[in-house]
Amino acid sequence: MSIENYLGDGKKLIDKVLAEYLPGKEAYPETIHQSMHYSLLAGGKRLRPILVMAAAEAVGADRRTVLPFAVAVEFIHTYTLVHDDLPALDDDSLRRGKPTNHKVFGEAIAVLTGDALLTQAFIIMTQSALMESIPAANVLRAANEISRAMGSGGVIGGQVVDIQSEGKEIDPETLEYIHIYKTGFFFKACIRSGAILGRAESKQLAALSEFGSHIGLAFQIVDDILDIVGDKEKLGKDVGSDIDKHKATYPALYGLEASKKQAEKLVEEGIASLQDFDERADPLREIARFFIQRTF
């Protein structure tokens, strides 16, 4: 299967089941549920849940056993988008080609929608159905991985430094901190949690962590590049917004070409860390290559 088909297939699977994991749009109070559906089903590549499933497959598990957990991870991703877009934060008006949540539902509901999506993710991750084929201790450990990645020592910490760095000259260390914490940790945690749910051995888990760290940073560097050279239609969001906001980016600090090379190097090193894995890790390897070839 080509990587395009693999990703398309994974996206289709997630899109199909996503709505089954939250109350219907008609559930009272309707506003919050309509708002959750709006942001969840606004599209997206579903890369994080696909990585959860691909990591489970790489260690020999059936991706269907980790599907609820994969869905939960997409809920969490969506929560970060809804809150990041708020007027008090990035103040974005377009996301995945549609008006951002607060533009449609107002600021109060957007705050609560983010909260509800994050909470719903934990409802899903801790639900007993998930334990049918996976030991409860593994489920707890995987949920802990995701939580730690998303906390003040992870994604939120990265977002804080990102906000505080706007319009300022920042050094390479701070830029790397923002990228690793804001984006890299979450990708790595998706891969680690999928592997933990798939009962990875500790050596496998260490290699997958290495892989995750590398491709997570590569993804964000490419994101920075696409903000300059990308196509607004394909990306579904405004191009040039980092420059407008004087955001710290790799191309701004190192130039376009050096940034591309850095991303390619990271992906190569990431793939190299999977040398002891058989062909069941091919999807992970291909996803890593897609991370630097993507145009959206």
Binding site for a second copy (CB under 8 A): 22-23, 27-29, 31-33, 36, 79, 83, 86, 88-89, 106-112, 114-116, 118-120, 122-123, 126-128, 131, 135-137, 139-141, 143-144, 147-148, 150-153, 156-157, 159-161, 163-164
149 or 225: CB nearest a second copy: 149
Rounded CA separation 243/249 (Å):
9
94 or 160: CB nearest a second copy: 160
66 or 274: CB nearest a second copy: 66
Nearest Cα residue to 90 out of 283, 261, 271, 237: 237
Shortest separation between residue 22's beta carbon and a second copy, angstroms: 7
When computed from its CA atoms, the radius of gyration of the chain, rounded to whole angstroms, is 18
Shortest separation between residue 288's beta carbon and a second copy, angstroms: 27
Structure tokens at 201: 């051995």
Reduce the DSSP state of residue 225 to 3 states and report it.
helix
Helices 30-40 and 107-125 pack at an angle, to 10 degrees, of 80
31 or 65: CB nearest a second copy: 31
C-beta of residue 134 within 8 angstroms of C-beta of residue 56: no
- E strand residue ranges, the chain: 94-95, 98-99
Shortest separation between residue 120's beta carbon and a second copy, angstroms: 6
Shortest separation between residue 160's beta carbon and a second copy, angstroms: 5
57 or 145: CB nearest a second copy: 145
C-beta of residue 115 within 8 angstroms of C-beta of residue 82: no
